[in-house]
Amino acid sequence: MLHVVGGAITLTLGLAGCGTDDFAPGTPHREPLRAEAPAHTKTVAADSPLAVRVGSYQVRSRRPIATAGEQLEMATWDSKVKLSEDVTSFSTLKLSLPGGDQPEAPVQVVHRLPMRVPAGASVVVGRSESNDGPMTMIPSDLSQDRRSVSFRTSHFSWFDTIVVRGIPALLGTRGSEPTCEDPRTPRWVSDVIYPDTSSGDMPMLVCAGRDPADQDLVVVKVTNNRGTGMAMTASKDWAWVWTGGAGGVKATVADWFSEISDPEADRTVFLMPGQQAHFAFREGDWRDMITLQGTVSVSSAAYGMAWDLLQDLEVSAPTRTVLAGVFLTVCFADAELDPLARAGVSDLRDLAIPLARCVVESYDDIVEAANRELDADAWDRTFGDLKGKWHRVRRRASAALALAVSAHRLGDSAADVLQDPYARRVTIASVIPPRGHRGGSPTATPVPAESEAPEATYVPGSPFEDSCVVAWPTAPLRTSTSISMRMSCAGVPGEEFLFTDVTLDDPSLVVTPSTGALTVRGVVEDTAASGYGYNVLLVRADQITVG
């Protein structure tokens, strides 16, 4: 399993096995990105200012780039090469001087693209030292008409124009809707609240019901529907959890967390892109809502990247899980990968850079570590595939880097979409017992018809009274005159409103995670709709009391 010890990661995975001491990794299969002959070539004098076209490229320099008599050699390839499902190299330019010399002055390169870059997509330029070498993403600019990309360079090598599907690539759907055999919930559950996932494009797909083998257990099934790893943390201990075909992720993470004092670590599992997990919970105190919160943490993002690199290998999900752990162990041996803190777009870039470099430089270390961790049968089935498809792993590493750089350019907008906590939250609310019974155990016995309150309406101006809890980890917002809280309210139908935003003109109100339920009285101000498809009820409170 993975352990964090003093910031370093060591590996002792559960499938550990039968590595041979005299194992020699050998040379992985290498395949050039461009195997065909160049579509266009040109050689020009490099000892005078440049303004030359070759294929769809234009190369310029105001000053000579080499000494008298030297020639600039240029070659272009125009065929598309897919680095991954979402990342494509559209063209390659090679610039070289005799003997591998570098230019004495920078050149400006403008590449006219064969089509307009679609909205939502982006273009990056990757530089590599050889036709099958690792890529480094360099600064570039896309023209206003989205038809040309330009960059400056003082280092001649291979340059790939790479189109990335941008946010759709980072957030594209990856999983299938889970199925709950018995969609009825136990009697103690009043509601299970989560965003509407019927469209299939939410970051998390959810269903809820009860356990056919134990009808007192509520079961929530979750699919990670994005291309990043996701940490899923429960607010209380589960009765059981199932992590499916990626077998070993939960166990790996549990041991990784063994060195961490945060109690949330014991209630957290990692879900790989497209992976499903099932959580079962027993009845608790009616005041304590149960939440499942998904987060793209730094370490789950790293795990997801490593998992994606192995997509072309024909290996089982448990073996792929072990290999992803091996990548993290070798490639981030001296890094601190926080398992709970949210990752930002800069973290994605900072993870992708060493991972792409590691795939090129640390093949022997990765293979030797995999040989130690896999049992003999799994290793026999894996090694040939790993060695023969290593060039695909390298391409996917370049694609991950291009994607991370593309997301980083989008800045806060990408981070907000990546991490919207409300689109990755499930809340389980208990039945609220009648007021005369609230001191004891919760009960599912309905209130007699004659004592039931009229059905609530949620039009602006209508009165509001309900038992609510703050939807942690969102904390209250305070101004000099008011406090605003995002809450989950027991009587507000979850299929209509995912949250209730409550504002009270009293910033001194004390609210902490241990406060529990609050009785909110006031009026409905309005309703709001999120871009993710869920609605929020807006309430102006006149009075808020504990209990």
Domains contained in the chain, number: 3
List the one residue out of 375, 401, 391 whose CA is nearest residue 313. Answer: 391
pLDDT at 452: 44
Question: Helix-strand-coil percent breakdown of the chain, rounded to 5?
Answer: 25, 30, 45
Instruction: Kindly state whether residues 482 and 517 are assigned to the same domain.
Output: yes
pLDDT at 110: 96
In-domain check, residue 208: no
Residue 324, pLDDT above cutoff 80? yes
Q: Is the whole-model pTM more than 0.75?
A: no
Instruction: Kindly state whether residues 47 and 103 are assigned to the same domain.
Output: yes
CB atoms within 10 A of CB 49: 11
Confidence of residue 244 (pLDDT cuts 50, 70, 90): low
pLDDT at 18: 45
Instruction: Kindly state whether residues 25 and 50 are assigned to the same domain.
Output: no
Instruction: Kindly state whether residues 491 and 529 are assigned to the same domain.
Output: yes
408 within 8 A of 349, measured Cβ to Cβ: yes
List the one residue out of 395, 247, 226 whose CA is nearest residue 312. Answer: 395
pLDDT, tens digit (0-9, with 9 covering 90-100), for 184-205: 999 999 888 887 766 666 788 8
In-domain check, residue 491: yes
pLDDT at 537: 92
CA distance 224 to 227: 8
Instruction: Kindly state whether residues 112 and 133 are assigned to the same domain.
Output: yes
Instruction: Kindly state whether residues 501 and 469 are assigned to the same domain.
Output: yes
251: β partners: none
Q: Which residue has the higher pLDDT, 28 or 458?
A: 458
CA distance 17 to 370: 10
pLDDT, tens digit (0-9, with 9 covering 90-100), for 325-340: 888 888 887 777 766 6
pLDDT at 469: 85
CA distance 93 to 108: 13
Instruction: Kindly state whether residues 8 and 97 are assigned to the same domain.
Output: no
Residue 350, pLDDT above cutoff 90? no
pLDDT at 408: 64
Residue 410, pLDDT above cutoff 60? no
In-domain check, residue 256: no
Domain end residue (candidates: 106, 129, 164): 164
pLDDT at 497: 86
Share of the chain above pLDDT 70, in %: 77
476 within 8 A of 507, measured Cβ to Cβ: no
3-state secondary structure (DSSP) of residue 93: strand
Looking at residues 91-100, what average pLDDT do you find?
92
Instruction: Kindly state whether residues 19 and 69 are assigned to the same domain.
Output: no
Domain containing 402 equals: 2-29+300-417
pLDDT at 215: 92
CATH of the domain at 509: 2.40.50
CA distance 269 to 282: 19
495 within 8 A of 456, measured Cβ to Cβ: no
pLDDT, tens digit (0-9, with 9 covering 90-100), for 34-84: 778 899 999 999 999 999 999 999 999 999 999 888 999 999 998 888 888
pLDDT, tens digit (0-9, with 9 covering 90-100), for 256-312: 444 444 566 678 888 888 888 899 999 886 667 888 988 887 878 888 888 888 888
What are the backbone dihedrals phi and psi of residue 26, each rounded to the nearest 5 degrees, phi first? 80, 180
CATH of the domain at 120: 2.60.220.30
Q: Which residues contact 384 (CB under 8 A, 6 or more apart)?
A: none
Sign of CA dihedral 187, 190, 196, 197: negative
Instruction: Kindly state whether residues 311 and 395 are assigned to the same domain.
Output: yes
Instruction: Kindly state whether residues 157 and 44 are assigned to the same domain.
Output: yes
